[in-house]
Amino acid sequence: MWPLIAGEARKVLTTRVWLWLLLAAAGLTILYAVLTMAFADTPDALTAPLTTAEGQRTLFAVGGAAAPFAALLGAIGLTAEYRHRTATITFLTVPHRGQIITAKLIVHVLAGAAYAVVCISITTAVVPPWLASQDISIAVPARDLFATDLGVVTSVALFAAIGVGLGALIREQVAAVVTLLIYLFVVENILTNITALHQWTPYLPGQAQEALIGSTLTNQSLLTPWQGGLVLTAYSLAIATIGTLLTAHRDVT
Amino acid sequence: MVVAPAEHGRIVVEGVSKSFGPVRAVNELSFVVEPGGVTGFLGPNGAGKTTTLRMLLGLVTPDSGVARIGSRRYADLPTPAHEVGAVLDASGFHPARSGRDHLRVSCTLGGLPLRRVDEVLDLVGLSDAGTRRVRGYSLGMRQRLALAGALLGDPPVLILDEPTNGLDPEGIAWMRRLLQGFAEQGRTVLVSSHVLSEVQQLVDQVVIIRRGQLVHHGPLAELSGPDAHVVSIRSPRTEALTAALSAAEGCRVERAGPDRLRVTGVPASRIGDIAFAAGVMLHELTPHAVGLEDVFFSLTNATGTDSDPGVDPPGGAVTCGR
């Protein structure tokens, strides 16, 4: 298994897609952090006031913004095999397709975790000085802060697996990327704004992530972090398993 | 260098069939490729060559039948990179990856030492281009890179799909020396092509398929047999002559113009005899030197209705005397 993981890691690192997506993830993290710091205390803000532990925890959790980019990395990584017709060489070198897809999942889960660590570093570097400059003392217990960081790493890593699985299902690179972007940035936002659906929306992947990283959103009720983590794990396991099985059995023409 | 026992490097295709929807791409195809030679796997586009190779290499699952390398199916080979080198898709590269990185990925996945990368780049003459991105490679360079990838594991069996595509005559000569060198080392080399003339200098055995079925398997030399006659005829009474020639064994008559026929399968002298006996005058009787390509063409286009069943080709061909 080790050569397969090393080989898949080499694939990721020998093109620059990982770098552009990491920069995008870092950029969005900074944007969310700035927006939250600027508008958290305005009347119609979605987050709790930054003087509260809930508000601060939500601010520390903005590194979760890396999730869509980790998913894109996974989806692009898998669909590139079909787009550039490297699937043939890959499956010739490793005829056990289940193993090679598993290696790809592991590599992208690790890459997702690395994205999360970078984004957490950003929030850790930016948020405390800013709070200090506003004369706000940190109200989040260290334990909760750690839980949030762990939640960010876990959720972003799981989204990477979702990306790989979705890529295996769709195979067409443009379609997979567009599907991910539209769902994560448009569809889920629309659904969570429909009050009649509020009983169900906490189970959507993005909302499950919000629960896992310990965000508090004033217009949403979320699952507990544990439930969120379980729901997100279920999504990624299901999609990754279906994608792997399909890839293992489909003809490569 | 790897010299394996004969049994080991043999390619065995046994009664393999595959349909894609309503299209039967490969139909009960069987053949064996022995080590120590270069075998051409020939047929027109769409004959089922690539599908057959993909079944042989475990990428496409046959509907029935089995294809093996030695005694095992490809998917059951313990270390495929060491046993079979294959090029199915000379365009199968990530454009943003350098040729060298592409080979390093394959090396790592296949559990091969990375020093092989520079060795094979050198072998295919790409040492200077290795660090460039594949995006900037010519088709010929891609062919060489694909071949380099197949050689990473120094395998006793080489399977190449259309390896001469995009190579200039110099490149084809280089490929010939390389592949014949491999064959002399006792390796098995299978090379597919839809153009016989491109691999004619390369191969000593041929497997020819048409519409997914075997039409010829044997030494290349046997291809230019007694059938290899092509004669142009001009006569004012082509109808009567066609009727008379119909009786001759192995003869095939095509209309080539209002007063012209093209006859394959019988020598010019025999046609002259037949015309004389039938009382048909000839204004022209020209035998042509027949290339292998003509034999190949006649084998793979037996009735002229291959690609478009139900529609008679212009000119109308008649096969007679069988």
pLDDT (tens digit per residue) in B65-93: 999 999 999 999 999 999 999 999 777 89
Q: b/e string for A135-170 if b means 16 or more Cβ within 10 A?
A: ebeeebeeebbebbbbbbbbbbbbbbbbbbbbbbbb
pLDDT (tens digit per residue) in B103-119: 999 999 999 999 999 99
Using CB atoms, which residue from A10, A91, A96 is nearest to B59?
Answer: A91
User: Among candidates A166, A63, A146, which has minimal Cα distance to A112?
Assistant: A63
Residue with tokens 């119909």: B246
Tell me how far apart the alpha carbons of residues A70 and A90 are, in angstroms, rounded to a whole number: 22
Q: Do the Cβ atoms of B93 and A251 come within 8 Å? A: no
Do B93 and B166 contact (CB within 8 A), yes or no? Answer: no
Whether residue B315 is predicted with pLDDT greater than 60 in this model: the reply is no
Residues in A touching B53 (Cβ below 8 Å)? none
Do A8 and A104 contact (CB within 8 A), yes or no? Answer: yes
ipTM higher than the 0.95 cut:
no
Cβ-based interface (< 8 Å): residues of B facing A: 51, 54, 57-61, 74-75, 77, 80-81, 84, 86, 88-89, 91-98, 101-102, 104-106, 108-111, 149
**Number of CB atoms found within 10 A of residue A179's CB:** 17
Do B126 and B144 contact (CB within 8 A), yes or no? Answer: yes
Whether residue B182 is predicted with pLDDT greater than 50 in this model: the reply is yes
Helices within B39-114 (DSSP H only): 49-56, 80-83, 99-109
pLDDT (tens digit per residue) in B275-299: 998 899 899 988 876 667 777 777 7
Using CB atoms, which residue from A6, A14, A88 is nearest to B59?
Answer: A88
User: Taking all residues of chain A, what is their mean pLDDT, rounded to a whole number?
Assistant: 94
Tokens, residue A132: 């200090």
Whether residue B317 is predicted with pLDDT greater than 90 in this model: the reply is no
Please tell me the CATH code under which domain B11-221 is placed.
Answer: 3.40.50.300
The domain spans of chain B are 11-221, 230-319
What are the φ and ψ backbone dihedral angles of B14, each rounded to 5 degrees?
-125, 105
Tokens, residue B242: 């066609």
Q: Which residue is closest to B50 within chain A, CA to CA?
A: A253
Pairing of strands B64-69, B37-42: unpaired
Average pLDDT of the residues in B46-70: 95
Using CB atoms, which residue from A84, A95, A253 is nearest to B93?
Answer: A84
Q: Which residue is closest to B153 within chain A, CA to CA?
A: A93
Task: Determine the residue among B108, B112, B137, B162 to mutate to test chain A binding: the one whose Cβ has the most chain A Cβ atoms within 10 Å.
Answer: B108
Tell me how far apart the alpha carbons of residues A156 and A167 are, in angstroms, rounded to a whole number: 17
Per-residue pLDDT at B302: 59
Using CA atoms, how far residue B119 sits from B82, B103, B127, B152, B157, in Å, is 15, 11, 9, 8, 19
Tokens, residue A58: 């939500």
Q: Do the Cβ atoms of B92 and A10 come within 8 Å? A: no
Q: How confident is the model at residue A220 (pLDDT cuts 50, 70, 90)?
A: confident
Residue with tokens 């990185």: B101
Q: Shortest Cα distance from B101 to chain A (angstroms)?
A: 7
Using CB atoms, which residue from B51, B89, B108 is nearest to A88?
Answer: B89
Per-residue pLDDT at B118: 96
User: Among candidates B204, B274, B206, which has minimal Cα distance to B237?
Assistant: B274
